[in-house]
Amino acid sequence: MELQPHFELMASYNQWMNVKVYDAASKLPTAELIEERDAFFGSIFGTLNHLAVADTIWLKRFATHPSSTARTLAVMIDLPTPQRLDQVMFDDLEGLKAHRRWLDTVIINWVGALTDDDLSTTLSYHNTKGVASKRCFSSLIFHFFNHQTHHRGQVSTLLSQAGVDIGVTDQLALIPDEMEM
């Protein structure tokens, strides 16, 4: 089974859902976006910031991978490394939304360049507490996308509770129906 096409689907889903989530969040006034809602990262805005933080941390780690695809992540190297998982990278939704669009483009380009050889290797890195780890690269990429889905699920719930419907969220909407091909 080739993993790269699955990662391309996950990257497309990630981008599609982020557009939907940010469009929905844009319907709320700032006070509602930053309102404490007892989520892992407090608010809708806090959770969206966390996703940008976590993606930045992971993409910076992935940029150190010895594969030929690491060059597609060279743009990540010079970005400051977030120091906390709840760090506020942007204090306004428009700035965060623009950064999110940029990150999603970086992710799409990087995933499109992955090879099976890249995916079968390991990645050595340090977590945010400095603990060294060495793990299967493809498994880390699965974690990367699963983490995004987890927290976007929280955001979609918070948005729903605030009276904003983001619409269809199933990845199935992006999978071609082979009966129609």
pLDDT in tens, 120-166: 999 999 999 999 999 999 999 999 999 999 999 999 999 999 999 99
Transcribe 142-162 into DSSP letters: HHHHHHHHHHHHHHHHHHHHT
Question: Which residues fall within 8 angstroms of residue 132, CB to CB, at 6 or more apart?
Answer: 124, 125, 126
Element (H, E) at 73: none
* Confidence tier at 67 by pLDDT (50, 70, 90): confident
Dihedral angle computed from the Cα positions of residues 53, 54, 57 and 60, in that order, rounded to the nearest 10 degrees: -100
Answering whether pTM is above 0.75, one says: yes
pLDDT tens-digit series, residues 6-20? 999 999 999 999 999
Helix (H, G, I), strand (E, B) or coil at 175: coil
SS (H, E, C) 32-47: HHCCCCCECCECHHHH
**What mean pLDDT is reported for the chain?**
93
Distances from the Cα of 141 to the Cα of 39, 56, 171, angstroms: 25, 13, 17
The pLDDT value recorded for residue 26 is 98
Residues shown for the chain: 181
Q: What is the mean pLDDT of residues 106-115?
A: 94
